[in-house]
Structure 1
Amino acid sequence: MTRFLTGLLHLRRGPWEMLATILIGLGVFMLMQPFFLWAFTWSFLVTLAGTVMFIVTSHFPE
């Protein structure tokens, strides 16, 4: 866990790409669930934020 947080603080690609992937997965899950309207409403923005974050962090150093 410490290594993950250190990677986030030093702008390393691995931890930020993992965080972006989790956001994309969370957005897709929010889109497909039938229980909460607020989650469905915010699902597109969460997926979009994860996708943009993944594109930006793919240019970070290893």
Structure 2
Amino acid sequence: MISDFMSGLVRLRRGSWEMLASFLIAIGVIMLMQPVFLWAYTYSFIVTLTGTVMFIIVSHFPE
């Protein structure tokens, strides 16, 4: 399973990159909602924006 994921990243396949972009979006939202660390809140928008732009770009990759 891990090797399939890594080979999908290397071969620029949509599934692996979309999963990574979705993970970045989820991490960014968690960073935004947590009340403890100011650095996490500070960088949450950048992480979420990176994941969103990445998702838009990789949605054009081949299956």
Q: What is the TM-score when the length of structure 1 is the normalising length?
A: 1.00
SS in 1 for 2:60: coil
Contiguous gaps of at least 5 residues in structure 2:
none
Aligned to 1:45: 46
Deviation at residue 61 of structure 1 after TM alignment: 0.2
Q: Which runs of 4+ in 1 moved over 3 A?
A: none
Aligned to 1:22: 23
Mapped partners of 2:18, 2:4: distance in 1: 14
CA RMSD of aligned residues (A): 0.2
Which string of whole-angstrom CA distances, capped at 9 and with x for unpartnered residues, describes residues 25-44 of structure 1? 00000000000000000000
Percent of aligned positions that are identical: 68
Aligned residue pairs total: 62
Aligned to 1:54: 55
Aligned to 1:8: 9
SS in 2 for 1:31: helix
Contiguous gaps of at least 5 residues in structure 1:
none
